[in-house]
A and B are shown apart, each in its own frame.
Chain A
């Protein structure tokens, strides 16, 4: 069955550095990938979408890549700030449903 995996270990980085989160998928060829941010006790908030025919997408300090050969998406936050600390979820879709990863917790330290 289709599977989407994110690193379950928290990522700790220093303020100002670039955070890179990984999303891998198997047994599926998604038409697009989405990235969401989730703060504790709250619902996810959409950040970015990248389609299968796009290699890279940017929005302010955020960048997403999509490698269909490696079956992987990378999510980058440049010049990270403590306010970026949250859990980041990736989700893949190809129809009217999304399949979510379990998320990676990012902690940005001063």
Chain B
């Protein structure tokens, strides 16, 4: 079974702090994604990566950056956390090739910024 793990289930940070969210997948997938999920807004893509050190902006990249130094690991960085970044953050991975392949999600990190 594909396993996508995220470093924390719950996280509380203060405004202005730098926050790191980590995601690891064990299926040798080329593609990895970071989403945030908010009530009424659904899942929105922040960034994705299609290879090591490669990244592309999603629909809402402002205030975030990412890092992919190893194939299995994809990190989301909040440079200076703000209260409007309080959300559920979900990481996903997918194999390459046909773009229709399903995405495998981690359990999510619920981040609260106070």
A-to-B contact residues, CB < 8 Å? 8, 31-32, 34, 41-46, 49, 51, 89, 91, 93-98, 100-103
Contact = CB atoms under 8 A, between A and B. Distances in A.
Interface of B: 4, 31, 35, 40-45, 48, 50, 58, 90, 92, 99-100, 102-108, 110
Contacts, number: 54
Nearest to B6: A43
A96 B31 contact: yes
Given A102-B40, A103-B42, A96 B99 contact: yes
Contact of A98 (B4, B103, B107): B103
B43 A32 contact: no
Given A89-B42, A101-B42, A103-B42, A95 B99 contact: yes
Contacts of A89: 42-43
Given A100-B43, A101-B42, A42 B100 contact: no
A49 B98 CA distance: 12
Interface SS, A side? loop
- Candidate in A31, A51, A95, A100 with the most chain B CB atoms within 10 angstroms: A100
A51 B107 CA distance: 27
Contacts of A93: 99-100
Contact of B106 (A43, A46, A95, A103): A43
